[in-house]
Amino acid sequence: MNPKVESLKKIYLFQKLNQDELLHIAEKIQDVHLPPRHVLYDIGEEAGSMFIVKYGTLQISTATSQGDDVNLINLGEGDHFGELPFFDGDKRSAKVEALENSELYELKYSDLNDMFSKNREMELKFYKEVTHYYIKRLRKLTNDLAYARELRRRFA
């Protein structure tokens, strides 16, 4: 069993891909080691890859207008990050720092684009999963916003 394929299967972006498609992606993945306190990337940097956590703990943070760090989330084994600039071409919107020794899988956007240009069915499956994921997030955000507005109305 290929550990890279097994990691890919756990990520919503790749869940509908068949074994051959997953193997093709796994061939392109590079291993990355991060020692504790190493910053993988920072806010505003150019983006060229997404990452999957093989093991370790990473902190994703952003900064306030005063420059204070705000921890958004800690990620561990099986989590992924860094995919947003693949979709919108924007720069990094958060800082990623290893909290302990960590191993990642790196998938370059250029490799993903190359695979998609050769396999449109694979691309369609990928974007369909992305659409479903972000619709779920949008619905949750809409519900959370409605709840926050109701609380504000009740206690204002």
Span 67-117, pLDDT tens digits: 888 898 999 988 889 999 999 999 999 999 999 999 999 999 999 999 999
Query: 24 and 32 in contact (C-beta within 8 Å)?
Result: no
User: What is the value of pTM for the model shown?
Assistant: 0.82
- Per-residue pLDDT band at 59 (split at 50, 70, 90): very high
H or E element in which residue 45 lies:
none
Query: 69 and 95 in contact (C-beta within 8 Å)?
Result: yes
Rounded to whole angstroms, what are the CA distances from 41 to 61, 88, 106? 11, 18, 13
Query: 96 and 59 in contact (C-beta within 8 Å)?
Result: yes
The number of CA neighbours under 13 Å toward the Cβ of 140 is: 6
Taking only the tens place, the pLDDT of each residue in 105-116 is: 999 999 999 999
- Per-residue pLDDT band at 133 (split at 50, 70, 90): confident
- Per-residue pLDDT band at 118 (split at 50, 70, 90): very high
Q: What confidence score (pLDDT) does residue 113 get?
A: 94
